[in-house]
Structures are given as structure tokens and as C-alpha cells.
Structure 1
Amino acid sequence: PPLLLLLLLLLAPGPAAPCSPPEPNATHFVCTEPTLSTFPAGLPPTTSAVSVEFTALAALLPAALAGLPRLRELHLSSNRLAALPEPLLRPVPALRVLDLTDNLLADLPAGIFAAASRLQHLVLRGNRLRALRPAWFRHLPRLQWLDLAANALTEVPPAVFRPLGSLRSLDLSRNRLATLAPGALAGLRALEKLDLEGNQLGTLPPDAFAPAPALRLLFLQDNELRALPTGVFVPLRRLRLLDLAGNQLRALELPPGPALDLDISGNPWACECPLLTLLRQAAPRLIAGRDTLCASPAHRRGQEVAAVSRAGDTGC
């Protein structure tokens, strides 16, 4: 009957609001609702971690984080953010972790991190950043982890990271870097991991890594390196892993110190005395040895570099 139908319509619940606010005094808030287009309001001041990811969020108001003085982690990955308001982080001075992976950010306001001096982890992977602004890093003395992978960066300005004296991990992989400017790593004396994989690096300055003597892990694979400057790795006495796979190298440079894990596969190696002697003396642990082959001289072409270096009849 029409009256019953009307009653059912009146009593039927309306569409649920995506990601309703948590209970009072809650400390964590998570929302992965694909239809969400505005940042949730009404979060309790006890909130210490917010995760709004995989949504339709395309913009944030300058006061989006107001009233969250205890916020320590903010995860905003896989949204549609193309810009951030400069005052965004001012209400959250306790913030330690900021994850902006896979958004549409082509630039950031110069003072975006001015009030975020306690930030330790900053992830900007998978955006559209074309340049690095020195002002971004000026107020981040406690930053330990910086991920800038998979952007559109074409250069690292000299000393841009100088204020980051606590930085331990820097990921610049899968950008468009053709070289490193002298002094690009200035100030990074605590840096332990540097990832430059998948760029377009054709050359390195001789002192490229001198400002980062604490490096333990260095990834240079899948670039366009044809030669290494003499002594380029000499400052890296703590290096334990070096990945040079997938370049165009014919001769090798290694750091002094204990044997390290080394991937030099996918290069056209010249299996002659300089390379063979270096490998015998340094005795690195070769990764992907079966793909580490001689390209010259002709009588050694296609042979495994490790096997040739171990042979006793090389004449070296």
C-alpha cells in the first residue's frame, strides 16, 4: 500500500557519511573511502595519527589540521592533491611523519615545513616535483628519512640538503638526473643510504660522495654511467653495498676497506688487468655473477668476470 511504502522510505537510513569521526579521545583515524573529497573535520584533539589515503581528496584548507596539537603521523598517500597551503602544518608542531606518496604535487610552498622542525620522515615519492627548493629543508634539522623518488627532478642544487645534518636515508631514484652537481650532498655527514637508481646519470663529479662519508648503501644501477672518476669512492670507507648494475661501465672503481656486496652486472666490462687485479685484491661478494660478463677482449667475450678474475692464466 502507498502508506506503507511512504513509511518505509521515511524510516530508511540515509547515505552514510564516508569515514565518520572516531570516538572521543581516540588517538588514530583511518579513512580509505574512495569517494571522500574533503578532509574529515571534528577529529578529537587526542589524535596522534591520521591516515586519509586512496581517496578523492584534491585540496586541503589551510586550517585542516587545526585542533590536533598531538598529531605525530599524517599519511595522505594516493590522493589527488595538486597543491598544499603554506600554513597547513603550523597547528601540528609535534609532527614526526608526513607521507604524501602518489599525489599530483608539482611544487610546494617555500615555507611549508617552517613549523615542522620535529619532522623525521618525509615521503614525497610519486609526485610531479620538477625542482628542489632550498627553503623546504631549512627548518628540518631532525629529518632522518627523505624520499623524493619517482618525481621529475632534473638536478640537485649544490648544498640544497645542507641543513639536513641528521638525514640517514635519501631516495632520489627514478627521477631525471643527468649528473650530480659538485656539493649536491653537502652537509649529509650522517647519510647511510643513497638511492640514485633509474636516473640518467652519465657522469659523476670526482668528489660526489665526499660530503657523505657515513654511506653504507649506495645504489647507482640503471643509469648511463660510462666511466667513474678515479677515486670517486675513496671517501666511502664504511660502504657495505654498491650497486652499479645496468650501466655502460668498462672499468671499475672501488672504495678501500672491507669486502663489500657488489652488483656490477649488465655492464660491458673490459676483462683486462686493471679490472681483474682489482677484483682479486678487493674480493667483493659479487651479486648476479652470472650476468656479470666480459665484453672485451674478444677471446673473453661472454665469460663471467668472476671466473676470469679467479683464473691463474690471465697474465696479470
Structure 2
Amino acid sequence: PGRILPPLLLLLPLLPLSLAGPCSPQPNVTRFVCTEPTLTAFPTGLPPTTLAVSVEFTALAALRPTALAGLPRLQELHLSSNRLSTLPETILHPVPTLRVLDLTDNLLADLPATIFAGTHRLQHLVLQGNRLRALRPTWFRHLPRLRWLNLAANALAEVPPAIFHPLHSLRSLDLSRNRLASLAPDALAGLRALERLDLEGNRLATLPPTAFAPTPTLRLLFLRDNELRVLPAGIFIPLRQLRILDLARNRLRALELPPRPPGPVLDLDISGNPWSCECRLLALLRRAAPRLTATRDTLCASPARHRGQEVAAVSQAGDRGC
């Protein structure tokens, strides 16, 4: 819920289809697509006019260091759903104009330290569904224009402090479905343009009080399906532009909210938590007036007089004991 699909395939829908068979490059075309399941070697003979390459759903397990040589105008490279386990350090050197790189659903456990050193124009990087266990600071040092970074569904156990600091243009960061048990206080340092952050489906039990201080422009924040028990006081105060907050299916009993925005109300999902419907929570919901979603699954666990009741209904009705 609340997901925004990345603007990939920026060129592919607009370019003419080749009339040749699969994996047969034609002269002077700008788009090349191959989804041949038996393909084991990256196609050769692509014309220098090529702007977008899509080699996906194949048996491709390795790339030669020179696989992209002769493609000086390449802007998009889609290599999802292959069997790539490693990449050559210099694979991207021949394509300095690259804007989109999609490596979704491969077998990558690591990347060369300087693989992105020459891709200063890269805007969209998708590494979802691989086996990455750690992030290297050198990956992000030369990506000043990166706007979309998807690291979902890997095996990341931590986010090194300030690792994303060079990514001043980043708008969307997806770290969902990893193995993050904690977040360093400055894990998001430098992401002053970030608008969307997805931490769903990790193992987060706590968050540092200043976790979101570096991201004042955040508009969408997804924290569902973690193990959060307590939210630090004031943790969301820096997020004055927040429009969607998803805290569903954690272990929260008390709530923190950002300041009430002057524009559209906050869309808030707090379902699947054992809420303590005491005076503080009820007053907070009345004051902040968020738009609660999944209200039927947003229930009071305590006190006994409210157990099993919908939080929204109790908040609206008020509590005589408050």
C-alpha cells in the first residue's frame, strides 16, 4: 500500500520496436530488447545509436568487461531477472551517459568498489532482489544526480553512518525487506531532498530520536512490519511535509505524530498494533486529526474498558476518564 513505482523504462515505451527476431541487433535502431530464456551471453553487434538495452529473464550469468563498449549514447540498461552473480569493475566505463540501471532479481552479493565511478548522470539505480549483505561507501560517491535508489529485498543488516551523504538529489530510497535491526542516528545524513523512504519489512525494534532530522522534505514514510515497540518523543517533528505515515503491524502501544500540516491531512496507518487507548493517545488523535486507514484493524488492546474497540471510534467518542 502506498507504493510508488519507479519511473523506469523512460525511453523504452517511446521507441520503435525492431521487427527482427529476439536478440538480433539491427542497424541504426535505438532500442534493443531480448527476453530469450536460453541466452547465456550478452548480445554483440549493437549499433552505436542504441539508447536503451533490455536483456531480461534470460540465463545470463556473466558479463564481459567490454560488453557495453561501442554504446556511447546508452541511457538505459535493464538487466533484471537474470543470473548475474558478479559484475566487472569497468563494465559501466563505456557508458557515461547512462541514466537508468536496473539489476532487479539477480544473484549479486557484492559490487565492485568503483563500479559507478564514471556514471555521474545516473538517476535511477535498482538493485532490488539481490543478495547484497553490505553497502560500500564508494558506490555512492560519484552519483550527484541519483534520484531513485532501490535496495529492497536484499540481506542488508545495517546502513553505515552517512553512507548516502553524497546523494543530494535523491528523492526515493527503498530499504524494505532487508535485515535491518537498527538505524544509526546519521544513517540518512545528507538526504535533504528525500521525499519517500521505505523501511518496511525489516527487524527494526527502535529508532534513534534524530533519525529523520536530515530529511525535512520527507512526504512518504513506510515503517510497517517491523518490531517497533516505542517511538522516541518528537521523532517526527522535523517532518512537517509528511503526507503518508505507515506504522502498521508493529508492537506499538503509544503514538508519536508530526506537526499537523497546513495543507492535506496526514494519511496514517497504525493498524495491527496493541494500542493503549489512554487519554494521551486519544487526545493526540483528536488534535492531529489524521485520516486513519484500515480502521477496522486499528484496535485498542487496553485498558480493559476499550479492549477490542476501534481506536478511531474511541477517540471520537472521548473518554470520561480523561
- Match in the other structure for 2:66: 63
- Match in the other structure for 2:33: 30
Deviations 1:159-203 (A, max 9, x none): 000000000000000000001011000000000000000000000
Structure 1 CA distance, aligned partners of 2:320 and 2:83? 59
Structure 2 CA distance, aligned partners of 1:77 and 1:159? 28
1:255 aligned onto 2:261? no
- Match in the other structure for 1:40: 43
- Match in the other structure for 1:84: 87
User: Which of 289, 297, 302 is equivalent to 2:295?
Assistant: 289
1:208 aligned onto 2:211? yes
Structure 2 CA distance, aligned partners of 1:188 and 1:261? 23
The 3 A distance-change label for structure 1 pair 285 and 38 is same
What is the DSSP-based 3-state SS (H/G/I as helix, E as strand, rest coil) of the residue aligned with 2:121?
Answer: coil
1:104 aligned onto 2:110? no
What is the DSSP-based 3-state SS (H/G/I as helix, E as strand, rest coil) of the residue aligned with 1:29?
Answer: strand
1:174 aligned onto 2:180? no
- Match in the other structure for 2:127: 124
- Match in the other structure for 2:228: 225
**What is the TM-score when the length of structure 2 is the normalising length?**
0.92
Instruction: Output the amino acid matched with 2:83.
Output: R
Larger Rg: 1
**What is the TM-score when the length of structure 1 is the normalising length?**
0.94
What is the DSSP-based 3-state SS (H/G/I as helix, E as strand, rest coil) of the residue aligned with 2:101?
Answer: strand
What is the DSSP-based 3-state SS (H/G/I as helix, E as strand, rest coil) of the residue aligned with 2:285?
Answer: helix
Structure 2 CA distance, aligned partners of 1:198 and 1:130? 16
User: Unaligned stretches of 5+ in structure 1?
Assistant: 1-16
What is the DSSP-based 3-state SS (H/G/I as helix, E as strand, rest coil) of the residue aligned with 1:170?
Answer: strand
- Match in the other structure for 2:141: 138
Q: Post-superposition shift, 1:142? A: 0.2
Instruction: Output the amino acid matched with 1:137.
Output: F
Q: Is the 8 A contact 1:238 1:257 kept in 2?
A: no
- Match in the other structure for 2:17: none
- Match in the other structure for 1:306: 312
Structure 2 CA distance, aligned partners of 1:57 and 1:159? 34
- Match in the other structure for 2:8: none
Q: Is the 8 A contact 2:279 2:319 kept in 1?
A: no
Q: Is the 8 A contact 1:221 1:247 kept in 2?
A: yes
Q: Is the 8 A contact 1:195 1:218 kept in 2?
A: yes
User: Which of 165, 169, 180 is equivalent to 2:168?
Assistant: 165
Deviations 1:122-169 (A, max 9, x none): 000000000000000000000000000000000000000000000000
- Match in the other structure for 2:274: 268
Deviations 1:29-64 (A, max 9, x none): 000000000000000000000000000000000000
- Identify which range, 143-152 or 17-26, moves more after superposition: 17-26
Q: Is the 8 A contact 1:74 1:99 kept in 2?
A: yes
Structure 1 CA distance, aligned partners of 2:163 and 2:255? 29
Same amino acid, percent of matched pairs: 80
- Identify which range, 255-264 or 242-251, moves more after superposition: 255-264
Structure 1 CA distance, aligned partners of 2:152 and 2:274? 27
Q: Post-superposition shift, 1:18? A: 7.8
Structure 1 CA distance, aligned partners of 2:150 and 2:320? 44
What is the DSSP-based 3-state SS (H/G/I as helix, E as strand, rest coil) of the residue aligned with 1:299?
Answer: helix
> What number of residue pairs does the alignment pair up?
300
- Match in the other structure for 2:242: 239
The 3 A distance-change label for structure 1 pair 62 and 314 is farther
Q: Post-superposition shift, 1:215? A: 0.2
The 3 A distance-change label for structure 1 pair 257 and 48 is same
Q: Post-superposition shift, 1:313? A: 3.8
Instruction: Output the amino acid matched with 2:178.
Output: N
- Match in the other structure for 1:184: 187
